Structure 1
Amino acid sequence: MSNFADKSSVNRKLLFAVIGLSIVLVVVAVVFVASTFFGDSRSDDVFATCSEAQGGLTLDGETITSSNPGGAGERGTAYTRARGCLLAETGMPPSVEDRMMWTGTDVGKDDGQWEGWKASWTYDLDDGLVLSVTAD
């Protein structure tokens, strides 16, 4: 009889261990799914990293906009730093950045795409360069 009682005790402990492990796995899965659906987006992450420079960045949904708060005549270091951070954090390729930096008043606006992001920008004498970057 004691052999049966020993096996029953071991089986009960094993059952509790399996149930406990199952609960832990379910909780981990729920947290992962919730963070995927309700966590910060890539745009939120980039904005949080780059907005510390206080250089004219705004966030609207998935779109980050970089504009010079003082217009074309007020090119400040905070604006330049924030825009540089935005380009680096989104991984804008040099080919798109070159097109953006060479956009003049004769062209006025352009756009580009790269892995996971798309951008559009305008340039005029009053506002300077205004860049909008959106996560795909």
Structure 2
Amino acid sequence: MTQPRHPAVGHARKRSPLPWVLLAVFLVALGVVLVPKLVSSGKDDDPAPVAASQADPMLTAVDKCDPTKEGLRLSDKNRKLTVNGAGKKFPVGLHDDSMACVLDTLGVPGALSSRMTSTVSADGQLEGEWPGYSVVWTNDPDKGLDLTVTRTS
């Protein structure tokens, strides 16, 4: 004689939390993508898309280090960055903090940035390079540190 099947009392089938975890991850990702777009909608003053500026250190430097747009200029299809430093007689341009921001954002090695800032006007135009970039610069206390960074790769 066979016994009828009855569900065992007290042994409830446990459901997997996986669908809820996946839903939560999806909602967080959606929020990360949509919230910045909703918050910044209507602002047309961004010169480059966020993703492009994050991928390109030169665009990031322009956005982050020169909010007044007085000392940095991109050219040659964003392959050349001209940096105009402020000096004693020509105060328009980047001051020390903004210049340090540019050098850090571009990943200029410490020895090269020290060499740039310690150069004097009698040294004339000097040049250097680091992976992916080359730079030429002059440094005059009256005119400031001026450099042109070119992407080589």
TM value normalised by structure 1:
0.57
Gaps of at least 5 residues in structure 1 are: 1-38
User: Paired residue for 2:148, among 116, 132, 135?
Assistant: 132
Q: Partners in 1 of 2:141 and 2:118 — Cα distance?
A: 14
Q: Shift of residue 110 of structure 1?
A: 0.7
Aligned-CA RMSD value: 2.7
User: Paired residue for 2:71, among 56, 75, 80?
Assistant: 56
Q: Shift of residue 127 of structure 1?
A: 2.2
Is the Cα–Cα contact under 8 Å of residues 85 and 94 in structure 2 kept in the other structure? no
Q: Shift of residue 72 of structure 1?
A: 3.7
Higher relative contact order (CA 8 A, sep 6+): 1
CA displacement 1:76-122 (0-9 Å, x = unmatched)? 79522221111001110111112111211221111111121111101
Q: Partners in 2 of 1:112 and 1:52 — Cα distance?
A: 27
Q: Partners in 2 of 1:77 and 1:63 — Cα distance?
A: 17
Q: 1:77 to 1:125 in 2, by over 3 A?
A: closer
User: Equivalent residue for 1:34?
Assistant: none
Gaps of at least 5 residues in structure 2 are: 1-51
User: Equivalent residue for 1:97?
Assistant: 113
TM value normalised by structure 2:
0.52
Matching of residue 113 in structure 1 with residue 126 in structure 2: no
Is the Cα–Cα contact under 8 Å of residues 54 and 78 in structure 1 kept in the other structure? no
Q: 1:78 to 1:130 in 2, by over 3 A?
A: closer
